[in-house]
Structure 1
Amino acid sequence: MLNLLRDGWIPTRRTSGARDIIRPSQVIDALSVDPVNALDWPRADFRIASLEFLIGLLATACPPESYEAWHDWWDEPPSVETLDAAFAPIAHAFDLDGDGPRFLQDFEDLVSDSEPVERLLIESPGGSTQTKNTDLLVRRDRFRAFGRPAAAMALHTFQSWAPAGGAGNRTGLRGGGPLITLVVPPAAVEGQPLRLWHLLWANVPVGGRAPTADELPRVFPWLAPTIESDGNRTVMPETDAHPLQCWWGMPRRIRLDFSAATEPRPCDITGAPDTVQVTGWRQRPRGANYAGWGKVHPLTPHYTAKPGAEWLAVHPQPGGIGYRHWLGLVTKDAAGLRLPAASVAEWHDHAYRAEVVRPRDARLLAAGYDMDNMKARGFVEHEMPLPGLTTPEIRAALDGLASTLVLSADAVAALLRSAIRQALFSAGATVKLDAELLSAARERLWDATEQPFFDALSGLAAGTSSLGSLCADWHARLRRTALELFDETAPIDPDVAATGDARRIAAARRRFSFTLAGYGKEGAALFLTLGLAPPETKAARKGKST
Structure 2
Amino acid sequence: MQDSWFNLIHQAWLPVRRKSGILSTIRPAEVVEAYSDDPIMDVEWPRADFQIASYEFLIGLLATAFSPDDHDEWLDLWEEPPSVARLDEAYDPIAKAFFLDGPGPRFLQDYSELEADLQPIERLLINAPGESTIKQNKDLFVHRDQVAQLGRPAAAMALFALQSWAPSGGQGNKTGLRGGGPLVTLVLPQENASLWQILWANTPCGKRVTEKNMETVFPWLAPTLLSGKEKDKVRPGENADTLQCWWGMPRRIRLEFTAVEEGYCDLTEQKENVLVTGWRQRPHGPDYAGWIGEEYSPGVVVHPLTPAYRQKDGAEWLSLHPQPGGIHYRHWVGLVVSTRDGNRLPASMVAQWHSTRAVDCGLTRKGRLLAAGYDMDSMKARSFVESEMPLPGAADEELRERIDHFARCCIDGVNQVWRKLTDAVKNALFDKKNVSLFDKKNVLFDKSVFSNLQHFFISNTEGQFFELLNKVGEAEDDVFFRMAWLKTLKNAVISGFDRTVLLGPETSIGHAERIARCRRQLLAFLACSGKEGRALAQALELPLRERSERK
On the 8 A contact 2:336/2:354 being kept in 1, the answer is no
For 1:142-177, what per-residue CA distance to the aligned partner results, in whole angstroms no more than 9, with x for missing partners?
A: 111100000100100111011101000001110110
Q: Which runs of 5+ in 2 are unaligned?
A: 294-301, 440-444
* Structure 2 residue aligned with 1:272: 270
Q: Secondary structure at the match of 1:91?
A: helix
* Structure 2 residue aligned with 1:106: 110
Matches within 5 A, 1:29-44: 29-44=33-48
- Number of residue-to-residue matches in the alignment: 531
* Structure 2 residue aligned with 1:140: 144
Cα separation, 2, equivalents of 1:318 and 1:496: 33
Equivalent residue for 1:484, pick from 475, 495, 505: 495
Cα separation, 2, equivalents of 1:55 and 1:497: 58
Cα separation, 1, equivalents of 2:227 and 2:533: 52
For 1:353-402, what per-residue CA distance to the aligned partner results, in whole angstroms no more than 9, with x for missing partners?
A: 62x33231100000000000000000000000000321221221111111
Q: Which runs of 5+ in 1 are unaligned?
A: 188-192
* Structure 1 residue aligned with 2:65: 61
**AA partner of residue 148 (structure 2):** R
On the 8 A contact 2:359/2:394 being kept in 1, the answer is no
* Structure 2 residue aligned with 1:241: 240
Equivalent residue for 1:2, pick from 2, 6, 9: 6
Give the stretch that moved more between structures: 447-456 or 22-31: 447-456
Cα separation, 2, equivalents of 1:47 and 1:442: 28
Matches within 5 A, 1:11-30: 11-30=15-34
Cα separation, 2, equivalents of 1:458 and 1:464: 12
**AA partner of residue 421 (structure 1):** K
* Structure 1 residue aligned with 2:524: 514
* Structure 2 residue aligned with 1:190: none
Cα separation, 2, equivalents of 1:42 and 1:533: 52
Give the stretch that moved more between structures: 515-524 or 175-184: 515-524
On the 8 A contact 1:416/1:441 being kept in 2, the answer is no
For 1:239-277, what per-residue CA distance to the aligned partner results, in whole angstroms no more than 9, with x for missing partners?
A: 1100000000000011111000123x1110001111111
Q: Secondary structure at the match of 2:141?
A: coil
TM-score w.r.t. the length of structure 1 is 0.94
On the 8 A contact 1:63/1:210 being kept in 2, the answer is yes
Cα separation, 1, equivalents of 2:32 and 2:379: 38
Cα separation, 1, equivalents of 2:430 and 2:480: 38
Cα separation, 2, equivalents of 1:25 and 1:464: 48
Report the alpha carbon displacement of residue 209 of structure 1 after superposing the two structures with TM: 1.6
For 1:315-344, what per-residue CA distance to the aligned partner results, in whole angstroms no more than 9, with x for missing partners?
A: 000000011111210011111111100111
Equivalent residue for 1:302, pick from 308, 328, 338: 308
Change (3 A) 1:82 1:484: same
For 1:409-430, what per-residue CA distance to the aligned partner results, in whole angstroms no more than 9, with x for missing partners?
A: 1111111111122222224131
* Structure 1 residue aligned with 2:94: 90
Cα separation, 2, equivalents of 1:215 and 1:435: 55
Equivalent residue for 2:281, pick from 274, 280, 283: 283
**AA partner of residue 461 (structure 2):** T
On the 8 A contact 2:369/2:388 being kept in 1, the answer is yes
Cα separation, 1, equivalents of 2:280 and 2:476: 61
* Structure 2 residue aligned with 1:130: 134
Report the alpha carbon displacement of residue 441 of structure 1 after superposing the two structures with TM: 2.5
Equivalent residue for 1:468, pick from 479, 491, 497: 479
Equivalent residue for 1:210, pick from 194, 208, 211: 208
Q: Secondary structure at the match of 1:170?
A: coil
For 1:69-92, what per-residue CA distance to the aligned partner results, in whole angstroms no more than 9, with x for missing partners?
A: 000100010000000000011011
Give the stretch that moved more between structures: 388-397 or 174-183: 388-397
Equivalent residue for 1:505, pick from 502, 515, 528: 515
Report the alpha carbon displacement of residue 346 of structure 1 after superposing the two structures with TM: 1.2
Cα separation, 2, equivalents of 1:239 and 1:366: 31
* Structure 2 residue aligned with 1:339: 345
Report the alpha carbon displacement of residue 478 of structure 1 after superposing the two structures with TM: 0.7
* Structure 1 residue aligned with 2:538: 528
Change (3 A) 1:496 1:538: farther
Change (3 A) 1:535 1:464: closer
**AA partner of residue 503 (structure 2):** I
Report the alpha carbon displacement of residue 442 of structure 1 after superposing the two structures with TM: 4.1
Change (3 A) 1:109 1:397: same
Change (3 A) 1:86 1:498: closer
Cα separation, 2, equivalents of 1:345 and 1:49: 21
On the 8 A contact 2:325/2:451 being kept in 1, the answer is no
Q: Secondary structure at the match of 1:328?
A: helix
RMSD across aligned positions (CA): 1.7
* Structure 2 residue aligned with 1:226: 224
Cα separation, 1, equivalents of 2:412 and 2:11: 50
On the 8 A contact 1:497/1:503 being kept in 2, the answer is no
Cα separation, 1, equivalents of 2:97 and 2:210: 13
Report the alpha carbon displacement of residue 508 of structure 1 after superposing the two structures with TM: 1.6
Matches within 5 A, 1:312-391: 312-351=318-357, 354=360, 356-391=361-396
**AA partner of residue 471 (structure 1):** R
Give the stretch that moved more between structures: 144-153 or 254-263: 254-263
Cα separation, 1, equivalents of 2:358 and 2:183: 26
Report the alpha carbon displacement of residue 531 of structure 1 after superposing the two structures with TM: 1.9
Cα separation, 2, equivalents of 1:131 and 1:364: 40
Q: Secondary structure at the match of 2:133?
A: helix
On the 8 A contact 2:503/2:512 being kept in 1, the answer is yes
Cα separation, 2, equivalents of 1:79 and 1:498: 74
On the 8 A contact 2:358/2:364 being kept in 1, the answer is no
Change (3 A) 1:503 1:211: same
Cα separation, 1, equivalents of 2:317 and 2:33: 39
Report the alpha carbon displacement of residue 125 of structure 1 after superposing the two structures with TM: 1.1
Q: Secondary structure at the match of 1:231?
A: coil
**AA partner of residue 123 (structure 1):** N
On the 8 A contact 2:365/2:393 being kept in 1, the answer is yes
Matches within 5 A, 1:172-187: 172-186=176-190
Q: Secondary structure at the match of 1:214?
A: coil
On the 8 A contact 1:14/1:36 being kept in 2, the answer is yes
On the 8 A contact 1:331/1:399 being kept in 2, the answer is yes
For 1:456-480, what per-residue CA distance to the aligned partner results, in whole angstroms no more than 9, with x for missing partners?
A: 101115x368411100101111111
On the 8 A contact 1:256/1:282 being kept in 2, the answer is yes
Give the stretch that moved more between structures: 227-236 or 21-30: 227-236
Give the stretch that moved more between structures: 529-538 or 106-115: 529-538
Cα separation, 2, equivalents of 1:357 and 1:6: 35
For 1:183-213, what per-residue CA distance to the aligned partner results, in whole angstroms no more than 9, with x for missing partners?
A: 00015xxxxx32100000000002x121220
**AA partner of residue 475 (structure 1):** L
Give the stretch that moved more between structures: 38-47 or 126-135: 126-135
Q: Secondary structure at the match of 2:212?
A: helix
Change (3 A) 1:352 1:254: closer
Q: Secondary structure at the match of 1:213?
A: coil
**AA partner of residue 540 (structure 2):** L
* Structure 2 residue aligned with 1:421: 426
Cα separation, 2, equivalents of 1:115 and 1:352: 46
**AA partner of residue 218 (structure 2):** F
